[in-house]
Amino acid sequence: MSTKSIMPGAMLGLLGGGQLGRLFTMAAQLMGYQVTVLDPSTHSPAGRVSDRFICANYDDQAALLELATTCEGVTTEFENISANSLNFLARHCIVCPDANSVAIAQDRIAEKQFLTSNGFALAEFKVIEHNYVLSSEIPSSLFPGILKVSRFGYDGKGQIKVDNIEQLNAAFTKLNGGSCVLEQLLPLKHEISVIVARGFDGATSIFPVAENKHQQGILDISIIPARIPNKLIQTACETAIRLVEKLNYHGILCVEFFILDDGKLLINEIAPRPHNSGHATLDACVTSQFEQQVRTLCSLPLGSTKQHSAAVMVNLLGDLWQSSAPDWNRVLQHESAKLHLYGKDEARPGRKMGHYTVLATTTEAALQNALEIKQSLDISYE
């Protein structure tokens, strides 16, 4: 499939006004595009930097029609957009990613069934959809496990660890009795992510694999390149490309992987958009994940993803603001540190307010400097 290129000067549309949308908007504007943002919040980070802002819900037909008829292409910054809205937009303009891909990625049950049916390796799981589960219905190998809501869970929300059938039933009730997935809890050695771009012409490109560290279910640190064997990096990249081809995906997609203690590689989940673990590409790669998102939407040649510096990205959560504004000199006094703040009004605990990236000639040096800054800011979110 090929589409006519959308050239600089055109208006692009964006569903979602968070930090991912803000960074997309800024990347598009640097390339000469204009951006219209549609978001229900009047204070959205992306809306503040957009050329045009539509304040409306994502299923507002009048707002969608306005977006579709004034923009040559529309993309998303997060996956919880209804397939109906994306299909409506697609009748009027280019939409990337498409409704089918988003519908699969936004629902853990659909995602796992797609991955399993296409031969991808993932942790053992079982769909839980009713209020009371008998022990005979659950394989013992699934305990201990993690019960996750099928939809609208992110950053550790909508997840509860369970050790037995009694805890499972209690957790299901606590999660309001909606459709869930029980996943086997596995001994992890590493968590990594691969961000892959695929154009309408089928061309693909891979960003450097990121090694990720989490605190309380929220990404804390991403290290690129990941400190794992080259063979695993190659397998992860090949798997990500095979996945976007099976999905017939166009745009930017992140594949999160578990690496087990025995070296086995399993897919954790997919995100049909730029990803928090790819923020270091803003400073460490020839092309950032956000510029690549513009390129895929506009049917432009994909940019080089070559990494010119080792990099470590550290998230800045709202907890850091609870007593007073952070002393940013502690970041900026390091000449190789890059500070990115998202322009959010309210600093709530657990809310992503920004990040910083430290560049160096080696991964070890970047990590050491990043951790020194982290300690000076007293980041402990626990």
pLDDT at 188 over 90: yes
Residue 132 is predicted with a pLDDT of 66
Average pLDDT over residues 340-357: 96
Strand 337-341 to strand 265-271: parallel, antiparallel, or no bridges (unpaired)?
unpaired
pLDDT score at 1: 46
> Given this model, what pLDDT does residue 378 score?
79
pLDDT mean across residues, the chain: 94
Indicate the residue type of 369. N
φ, ψ (nearest 5 deg) of residue 222: -125, 135
CATH topology of domain 124-184: Dna Ligase; domain 1 (3.30.1490)
Which CATH code, of 3.30.930.10, 3.20.20.70, 3.40.50.300, 3.40.50.20, is assigned to 11-95?
3.40.50.20
Say how far apart CA 117 and CA 59 lie, in whole Å: 31
What is the spatial distance between Cα 260 and Cα 108, in angstroms, rounded to a whole number? 21
Secondary-structure class of domain 188-376 per CATH: alpha beta
259 SS3 class: strand
Q: For residues 114-141, give the mean pLDDT.
A: 88
Q: What band does 186 get if pLDDT is binned at 50, 70 and 90?
A: very high
Average pLDDT score over residue span 124-142? 83
Query: DSSP assignment of 94-114, as one string?
Result: EESS-HHHHHHHT-HHHHHHH
How is the chain split into domains, by residue range?
Answer: 11-95, 124-184, 188-376
Asked whether residue 153 carries a pLDDT value surpassing 70, the answer given is no
Please give the average per-residue pLDDT across 208-234, as a whole number: 96
